[in-house]
């Protein structure tokens, strides 16, 4: 419980990995703002889970690809909570397709949400964190940003871009006691992986040295380490949570 008195914002925080991160940070004592864009019911469910466990959370709707919505949202959060200490850039989308067939709009949408969104949110929160002289930013990248994947040129580019952005931001903000790090999940157990045919799932497991899929809670644990006191001396780094499939 080492985040008492801290305020955290988790983009895409209503489901999957984002939900697990929101629950973990709230369990550590933070007031968590759960961002969503299209599923208020899921955000409210996450909020209810946090409150049932004794934590405190609020929901907030904004599109991370929209700079005006972001400015308004972070101003509201700062006004309500008085401070913003932790930002987890987790929101992301996929628009998969082979390079030769990929629409330009599919490229633009993925880059706007997965990469530009993290830039806009971090820019919006940076002034508050610099005034506080304390902050923690965690960008959720992916193993795909390091290893690549056929049919995901746009997603791979966005997730790889997050790594370079993490390092540059870490250098810029370190003097104000703000760390910026990344977590790169591998294959995490979700509804999508549950629906895979047995043959495809078996092949996937053969590519993972630990021979199992990760869980959203595994990713949340890495984020918790980076934003907690134990991670205070790490910045510009990436934690790979992938069972050894990329080393």
Tokens 């910026």 sit on residue: 180
CA dihedral 149, 115, 20, 211 (to 10 degrees): 20
Q: Is 155 a catalytic residue?
A: yes
HEC-encoded secondary structure of 68-98? HHHHHHHHHHHHHHCCCCEEEECCCCCCCEC
Annotated active-site residue in 155, 187, 233, 246 = 155
CA distances from 152 to 119, 125, 214 (A): 21, 30, 21
Question: Smallest Cα–Cα separation from 141: which of 173, 120, 167?
Answer: 167
Residue pair 182/92 in contact by the 8 Å Cβ criterion: no
Residue pair 33/9 in contact by the 8 Å Cβ criterion: yes
Residue pair 220/164 in contact by the 8 Å Cβ criterion: no
Question: Smallest Cα–Cα separation from 31: which of 52, 15, 51?
Answer: 51
Active site residues: 155
């Amino acid at each position: 419980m080492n985040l008492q008195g801290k305020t955290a914002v988790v983009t895409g925080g209503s489901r999957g990995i984002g939900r697990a991160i929101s629950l973990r940070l709230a369990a550590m004592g933070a007031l968590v703002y759960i961002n969503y864009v299209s599923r208020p019911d899921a955000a409210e469910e996450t909020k209810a889970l946090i409150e049932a466990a004794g934590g405190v959370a609020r929901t907030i709707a904004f599109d991370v690809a929209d700079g005006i919505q972001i400015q308004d949202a972070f101003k509201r959060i700062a006004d309500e909570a008085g401070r913003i200490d932790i930002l987890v850039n987790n929101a992301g989308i996929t628009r998969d397709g082979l390079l030769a067939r990929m629409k330009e709009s599919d490229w633009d949408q993925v880059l706007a949400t997965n990469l530009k969104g993290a830039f806009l949110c971090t820019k919006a929160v940076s002034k508050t964190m610099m005034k506080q002289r304390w902050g923690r930013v965690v960008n959720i990248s992916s193993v795909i940003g390091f290893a690549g994947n056929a049919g995901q040129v746009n997603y791979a580019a966005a997730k790889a871009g997050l790594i370079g952005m993490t390092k540059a931001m870490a250098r810029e903000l370190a003097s104000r006691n703000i760390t910026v790090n990344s977590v790169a999940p591998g294959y995490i157990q979700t509804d999508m992986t549950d629906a895979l045919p047995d043959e495809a799932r078996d092949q996937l497991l053969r590519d993972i040295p630990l021979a199992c899929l990760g869980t959203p809670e595994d990713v949340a644990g890495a984020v918790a380490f980076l934003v907690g006191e134990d991670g205070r001396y790490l910045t510009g780094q990436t934690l790979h949570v992938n069972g050894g499939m990329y080393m």
